[in-house]
Amino acid sequence: MTVDGTAPEFNAAFRTQFEQLLRWRRDVRTFRSDPLPEGSIEQLVEIASLAPSVGYSQPWRFVTVSDPERRKVIRTAFEDANRDALEGYDGERKQLYARLKLAGLDQAPEQLAVFTDHGTPRGLGLGRQTMPEMLDYSTVNAIHTFWLAARAEGIGAGWLSILDPARVTEALNVPENWSLTAYLCVGYPAEESERPKLEQVGWEEKAAESKTILRR
Ligand SMILES: Cc1cc2nc3c(=O)[nH]c(=O)nc-3n(C[C@H](O)[C@H](O)[C@H](O)COP(=O)(O)O)c2cc1C
């Protein structure tokens, strides 16, 4: 029984394509510099807002960052954090880290900060009294939905967390109670692969335990 209209049926061909979408979604760090078509970001945010959220709180807040001065602050915040991170590694690992390209800040035509609004009254606290972190997890759902919807359009997104969130929050002058969940670079990818970049370059391998199911 459907409540509103007729629910679509997803067939085997769709399921195959959906799996392909999941397999070919990548964290993108090398971008073509050509702009996205007008309205792309709005359309992707519209789809992202279909994500599930605790108590139906819908706490994600998207901020596009195009102002050159603000971008500069974020570029510097990345450089500082990346330098500190490099110091945390030794030997070959340090050399490998130094070679990794961890941000598409210089080429991606779009940059998006995604915040979680911890002040939202929506959802009336449902599910958050026991596990307040669920609000942030809800935003992560929206980000993943955005990521997949983008890939379906041939658009890549790269998640950048080598940043001091306080500096990003200050640079973007957002309302109080918004806390940074993700900083995304978005644009057309310069390369495509079915394998994560960090797997390709030998930073980390596919984890067998990520597919393990404990039975209790
Ligand atoms: C919460 C989160 C934070 C991430 N932060 C970074 C980051 O700061 N820099 C980076 O290069 N990749 C970052 N990534 C991307 C991961 O490195 C990437 O998802 C992982 O290597 C697997 O590759 P894939 O997304 O292409 O499958 C982040 C991903 C997630 C989910």
Residue 29 forms part of a structural domain: no
Q: What token pair was written down for 57?
A: 């709180």
Ligand 1 atom 6 nearest Cα: 160
Encode pLDDT of 167-215 as tens digits.
999 999 999 999 999 999 999 999 999 999 999 999 999 999 999 999 9
pLDDT computed for residue 182 by the predictor: 98
- Mutation probe of ligand 1 site: the residue of 159, 195, 198 with most atoms within 8 A of C-beta: 159
pLDDT computed for residue 125 by the predictor: 85
Tell me if 120 sits within 8 A of 46, measured CB to CB: no
Kindly report the CATH number assigned to the domain that includes residue 74.
3.40.109.10
Q: Which amino acid is at 73?
A: V
DSSP class of residue 87 equals H
Q: Which atom of ligand 1 is nearest to the CA of 198?
A: 21
**Which of 69-73, 97-101, 162-166, 176-180 is the least confident region?**
97-101
Residue 15 forms part of a structural domain: no
Residue 160 forms part of a structural domain: yes
Tell me if 128 sits within 8 A of 186, measured CB to CB: no
pLDDT computed for residue 129 by the predictor: 85
Residue 200 forms part of a structural domain: no
Ligand 1 site, CB within 6 A: 26-27, 29, 102, 159-162, 196, 198
pLDDT computed for residue 194 by the predictor: 97
Ligand 1 atom 19 nearest Cα: 27
* pLDDT reading at 1 higher than 70: no
Angle between helices 12-24 and 134-152 (to 10 degrees): 110
Span from the CA of 1 to the centroid of ligand 1 (angstroms): 40
**Which of 12-16, 77-81, 98-102, 209-213 is the least confident region?**
98-102
Taking the C-alpha atoms of residue 22 and residue 151, their distance in angstroms, rounded to an integer, is 9
* pLDDT reading at 22 higher than 70: yes
Q: What token pair was written down for 202?
A: 């030998």
Residue 207 forms part of a structural domain: no
- Structural domain boundaries enclosing 171: 38-190
Determine the 3-state secondary structure of 29 from DSSP. coil
Encode pLDDT of 93-137 as tens digits.
999 999 988 889 999 999 999 999 999 999 998 888 889 999 999
Q: CB-based burial of residue 3 (10 Å sphere; 0-12 exposed, 13-18 middle, 19+ buried)?
A: exposed
Span from the CA of 27 to the centroid of ligand 1 (angstroms): 6
**Which of 6-10, 61-65, 141-145 is the least confident region?**
6-10
Q: CB-based burial of residue 80 (10 Å sphere; 0-12 exposed, 13-18 middle, 19+ buried)?
A: middle
Q: What is the number of domains present in the chain?
A: 1
Ligand 1 atom 13 nearest Cα: 159
Taking the C-alpha atoms of residue 124 and residue 122, their distance in angstroms, rounded to an integer, is 5
Residue 105 forms part of a structural domain: yes
As a three-state string, the secondary structure of 113-146 is EEEEECCCCCCCCCCCCCCCCHHHHHHHHHHHHH
Handedness of CA 193, 198, 204, 209 (dihedral sign): negative
- Mutation probe of ligand 1 site: the residue of 161, 184, 195, 199 with most atoms within 8 A of C-beta: 161
Q: Which residue has the tokens 């080429």?
A: 107
Residue 168 forms part of a structural domain: yes
Residue 26 forms part of a structural domain: no
Residue 142 backbone class (left: φ over 0; alpha: ψ -120 to 50; beta: rest): alpha
